[in-house]
């Protein structure tokens, strides 16, 4: 597999340097070369890290999460939670597989020339795409698993303070249910806490230990996948720029010059490939942003608890201790210290892509 990726990298760079389309400016060739280098470097490093430093990463993360669940979840809830997690992962794999197969079929129809070199290049390109997507899947699923635990803790905090009217609309988080509608693509909406769980409230010290463990999981996850996520984002953004640029050129020529169906197919294929890359990037940033927002919602919940004079479970000092810990252990998804994965990165990146494509088309 590594040899195939290296061969595909060599062929891609050679094809980029020899590309002689009239609209292929030096700037777009540079962007294209960066996307190729970033994409293949990510896949090759992923394979190398899988058998070296990241070999036990997933097992260690799941072990810590299992310890957290033993403190946080009741035995009758664990099995259903784990079954939901498995179904979510399988659902994500199915969606990504269907999208990837659709884009790959379009690419074969539009660009396959029938030569042996083209076949090997196509195989290596698909291997690189699949490997990079699996890396993001692994990273995001750890984030979503931790997010689910944050949601459950916030639910317990809110429920403990409002045990008497928890089932009524006066609950202070009635407008913020445990599972948000925007998470329906990734998280099940059927995970609820029964009334029996309200009677078993975790001590503050246990909640502090749980938060510390979850923070360690996110920190170790970002540290392990940092360089791979950085290269993945570079590949996604640069590939989106050149794919969208050539797609706009082809579609514009097809509309203005009454070109044949083959030219339109090429443009549509490049657009679909760029939208697939952007979808992965949007999904990655939204999952990270929603997890960070969940911690902020918990901070707001604790601050509102401190305003209530009659708290049946926890003292003011206990809540202040937990609040101080949450503020100090700020959840951010840093990528090698260069930037954080959030909606600001998403909006800025999309704005730069659109602006760059407009500038290139004006020169054209």
Residue 184 main-chain phi, psi, to 5 deg: -60, -25
Number of domains in the chain: 1
**Rounded CA separation 212/235 (Å):** 33
How high is the pLDDT of residue 288?
93
CB contact set of 38 (below 8 Å; sequence gap of 6+): 231, 232, 234, 235, 238
Residue 247: band (very low, low, confident or very high) from pLDDT cuts 50, 70, 90? confident
Note whether 166 and 40 are within 8 A (CB).
Answer: no
pTM: 0.80
Q: pLDDT for 206-218, tens place per residue?
A: 888 999 999 999 9
How high is the pLDDT of residue 177?
39
- Output the average pLDDT for the chain: 77
pLDDT exceeds 60 at position 338: yes
Residue 189 main-chain phi, psi, to 5 deg: -90, 5
Q: pLDDT for 153-189, tens place per residue?
A: 888 877 765 554 434 333 333 333 333 333 322 233 3
How high is the pLDDT of residue 140?
93
Q: pLDDT for 302-327, tens place per residue?
A: 888 887 766 666 778 888 888 888 88
Which helix (H) or strand (E) covers residue 114, if one does?
none
**Rounded CA separation 95/105 (Å):** 16
Q: For residue 91, what are the CA distances in angstroms to 95, 158, 186, 226, 356?
A: 6, 31, 8, 25, 35
* Torsion over CA: 202, 206, 210, 211 (sign): positive
Beta partners for 339?
335
Note whether 127 and 225 are within 8 A (CB).
Answer: no
Domain with 117, as residue range(s), is 2-363
């Amino acid at each position: 597999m590594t040899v195939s990726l290296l061969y595909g990298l060599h062929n891609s760079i050679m094809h980029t340097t020899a590309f002689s389309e009239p609209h292929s400016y030096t700037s777009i060739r540079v962007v294209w070369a960066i996307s190729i280098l970033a994409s293949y470097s990510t896949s090759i490093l992923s394979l190398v890290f899988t058998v070296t430093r990241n070999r036990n990463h997933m097992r260690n993360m799941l072990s810590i999460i299992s310890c957290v669940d033993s403190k946080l979840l009741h035995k009758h809830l664990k099995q259903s939670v784990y079954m939901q997690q498995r179904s979510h992962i399988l659902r994500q794999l199915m969606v990504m597989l269907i999208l990837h197969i659709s884009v790959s079929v379009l690419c074969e129809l539009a660009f396959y020339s029938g030569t042996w070199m083209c076949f090997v290049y196509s195989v290596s390109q698909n291997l690189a795409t699949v490997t990079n997507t699996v890396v993001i899947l692994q990273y995001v699923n750890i984030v979503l698993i931790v997010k689910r635990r944050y949601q459950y803790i916030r639910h317990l905090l809110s429920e403990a303070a409002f045990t008497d009217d928890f089932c009524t609309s006066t609950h202070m988080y009635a407008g913020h249910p445990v599972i948000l509608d925007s998470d329906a693509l990734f998280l099940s909406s059927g995970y609820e806490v029964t009334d029996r769980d309200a009677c078993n409230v975790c001590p503050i010290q246990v909640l502090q230990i749980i938060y510390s463990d979850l923070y360690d999981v996110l920190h170790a996850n970002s540290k392990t996948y940092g360089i791979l996520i950085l290269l993945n984002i570079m590949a996604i953004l640069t590939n989106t720029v050149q794919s969208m640029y050539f797609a706009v050129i082809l579609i514009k020529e097809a509309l203005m010059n009454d070109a044949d169906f083959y030219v339109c197919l090429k443009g549509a294929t490049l657009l679909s490939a760029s939208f697939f890359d952007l979808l992965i990037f949007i999904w990655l940033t939204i999952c990270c942003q929603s997890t960070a927002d969940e911690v902020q919602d918990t901070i707001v919940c604790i601050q509102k608890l401190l305003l209530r004079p009659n708290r049946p479970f926890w003292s003011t000092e206990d809540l202040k201790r937990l609040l101080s810990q949450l503020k100090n252990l700020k959840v951010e998804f840093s990528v090698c210290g260069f930037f954080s994965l959030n909606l600001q990165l998403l909006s800025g990146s999309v704005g730069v892509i659109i602006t760059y494509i407009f500038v290139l088309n004006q020169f054209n």
